[in-house]
Structures are given as structure tokens and as C-alpha cells.
Amino acid sequence: MPILLTSLILFLLTPLPGMASDTQDAAYAGGGTQTCLACHTQGPGPAVAGIFGTPHGQLGDARTPLAGEHGCETCHGPSAAHIRQPGEVRPPVRFGPEGDDVANPDTQNGVCLGCHQKDHVNWQGSTHDAEGVTCTSCHKIHDRDDPVRDHATQAETCFGCHLDKRTQANLPFRHAIREGDVACSSCHDPHGGKGPSMLARHSVNDTCYTCHAEKRGPFLVEHEPVQDDCTHCHAPHGSVNERMLKVRPPFLCQQCHVASRHIGTLYDSGRLASRNNRLIGNACANCHSQVHGSNHPAGNTFRR
């Protein structure tokens, strides 16, 4: 076992052959940004001047890519060959969602992480990293306004891949995602969260408590599934049922509570006709309104 472990550690420490930059043998064009702008503002190349209105384009900040001697090539790689033959040779680091015509995701993201790793220490190993999502899959680097960084427009970017979430966010009972008051990043950290499902905080409940702190407790009377995981009962992306419940009450409650007396009663059309107070209105919550926890010394059935 020690030999195996030592071998594994040594293996992990060794550099990967060919792992170094794809651009290491290429030559820089020189001339900084002006060389590129000759074509990429008025010329035939794609226009990119919007970047000068973004933090990336500020020469006064020595950390920015354009402040360095290589200008655009800081990110796009040494492009002397591209300058000589723009129609035939592409810059070595081409950005975009994973595909044939762009650099592989690791190369692309490696460029960004060269400066931004400190902001996104959990990126490696995140679901997005594993799935080959590139930074430019979501971010528009050359535009002054990056829609994914705006609460009001962020979800549009996320829905591009998470098609099912678009439908859920438009169900009758939902969070205010359509209005932009709640953004995907209100709960999730797309760069690698601390919790499951890339949640920004380390658990479902702690994420929910950032807005719903009144449900955190601790309470005298805890409702076990509530403190265990809000998603036992709620569908946070939207639901057909009121209060974003996974199943409408009283039937949701009866998936766990099946004991004697009214708890095990079948609430059917006959009881609807008689307007049974365990079925209409808020169903069980017509009496048991404190289901998220009660601090009342006589609140052991969540009625106080």
C-alpha cells in the first residue's frame, strides 16, 4: 500500500507531456493592440473595440491583458502567422463554446484562470469544468455589458443549456426569475460552488436561509424534513402547485404522515363537496401553519 500511494503521489506530481501551452512555439506579432486593431476595427476582421470599455481594456491597470506588451495576444496567443496570413492562419487561442473551430476548453479557460483563478478557486472539479464549459460560453468578453453579470438578463444565458429550467421558471408558482429579481447566481455559483448542485453555500438549506432566514431556527419544535432539506417539499425552480410544493397538500403531507385519525383519511371528491377544512384552502396548513418550526412551548403539532 505505501508503495502504491507513493507511486500515485509521484505520478500526480509529474508534469503531463505536452500539457504546456499550445502556443509555446509560436511567435508574437509585436506592436501590441494596434497591430490587431488595424483589421479588427475598420478592417475585415471581427470587430472587437468594445473591449476598451471593459475592465480588460484599461492600460492603466497593469494586471489587464492589454496592458502587457503582447496586447491582444496575451489572451489569443502568439499570432505572427495570423498577421502574415490572416485568411489562412487563425490565432492559436480561439475562444468560444466547445467545438472544432476553437481551442479546447482547458486551453481557453487556462487563459482566463491565469488571472482569475483567485476569484474561482473551485472551478477545477466543478460540474461546468467537467462538462467542458468555457468561460466564453457564458461571458461576452469584448462587450461592455455582459448579460450574464446582470441579474435581469442572466437567466437567459443559463437557459441556453438548462432548457428544462426555463420551463420551470415560468410555471405558475415560482421565484421572481423572469423579472430578474432572483438570478440563477442568487443560489448557484457557476464557477464551482461550495455545496451540491454548485450551490453558492454549502447546503441547500443554508442557501435558502440567505433570503428566508426566519426559517433557520433553531426552533423548539423542529420539523425534521424542513431542517434536513427544503427540497424534500419544495421545487425551487418552480412548480405547478402553490408555495412551490412538489405535490399539492394535503397529499404531500400524507406521503410521510399516514397515521391514525384525520392524517390517514382519504380526502376525495366527497370531502371536497363538504368543504372539508383539511382539503380546501391551505389544506393541512389551515391549522398546522407553523410547519417550518415553532418556538411555542405548546407548539408540538405546529399549530402555535
Partner 1 sequence: MKPEQPVHHGNPHPGRHHLGQWPGLLLSGLLMSVATWAAADEFGYPDAETETATPAGDTAEPRSGPTGSIEPGLLWLHGTDGKSGEYNGLQSDGFRGVLRFEFLDRADWRSGDTRYRKASGRDIGTGTGDLFAEIGEQGAYKLRFGFRQIEHVDRNDAISPFTGSAYNLTLPAGFNAADRSFYNDADLGVKRESISLYGERILDSRWTLITDISHETKQGDKPTAAGQGFRGSAIAIQPIDYSHTQVDLRLRSAETRLQWEMGYYFSHFDNDDQALTFQNPFFAAADPQQLALPPENAFHQFSINGGYLLSERTRLNAYAAWSRALQDEAFLPYTVDAGGFYNFGGPEPPLPRNSLDGQVDQANLHLGFVTRVTRRWRVEGQYRFEDRDNRTPNDVYRFLHYNGNADDNWGNHVNSRSRHTFELETRYRLRNRMKVAAGYQHQRTHRDTDLLEPHHHHNAMGVLETTSTLTNRSHMAREDEAWSEIRFPPARRLSTRIKISAGKRSVSSSSAYDLHNEDHDATAPAYLLDREHVQLEAAGTWQASDRAALSASWQNRREVYNNSAFGADRVDSDQLSLDLALNTGQPLSGNLFLALQHAESSQNSRNNGGDRNLPVSGRWSLTSEDTAYHAGFGIDWRPTGDDLEVGLDYTFMDTENAIRSVHQTTGSDHLPDTETRIHRFSLNAEVPVENRLTVVTGYQYQRYDSENWSWSEGYFDVLGFGWNSPNHSAHAVMLGVRLDF
Q: Does 84 bind partner 1 (CB under 8 A)?
A: no
Least Cα distance to 111 among 141, 90, 145 occurs for 141
Q: Does 63 bind partner 1 (CB under 8 A)?
A: yes
User: How many residues contact partner 1, by CB under 8 A?
Assistant: 142
Considering only 6, 176, 197, 274, the residue that binds partner 1 (CB under 8 A) is 176
Indicate whether 155 belongs to the interface with partner 1 (CB under 8 A).
yes
Any contact of residue 202 with partner 1 (CB under 8 A)?
yes
In the complex, least distance from residue 205 CB atom to partner 1, rounded to whole angstroms: 9
Q: Does 22 bind partner 1 (CB under 8 A)?
A: no
Indicate the SS3 state at residue 203.
coil
Candidate residues 69, 85, 225, 274; the one interacting with partner 1 per rule CB under 8 A: 225
Q: Which residues have a Cβ under 8 Å from the Cβ of 236 and sit 6 or more positions away?
A: 175, 187, 208, 230, 244
In the chain, the amino acid numbered 34 is Q
Q: How far is the CB of 2 from partner 1 (least distance, A)?
A: 19
Site stretch for partner 1 (CB under 8 A), options 23-31, 77-85, 258-266:
258-266
- Count other C-beta atoms under 10 Å from residue 89's C-beta: 14
Regarding 152 and contact with partner 1 (CB under 8 A), the answer is yes
Got the DSSP string for 48-114? -GGGGGSGGG-TTSTTSGGGSTTTTHHHH---HHHHHSTTT---SS--SSSSTTS--HHHHHHHHHH
Half-sphere exposure of residue 9: CA atoms within 13 angstroms, side-chain side:
6
Site for partner 1 in 32-61 (CB under 8 A): 41-42, 46-50, 52-53, 55, 57-61
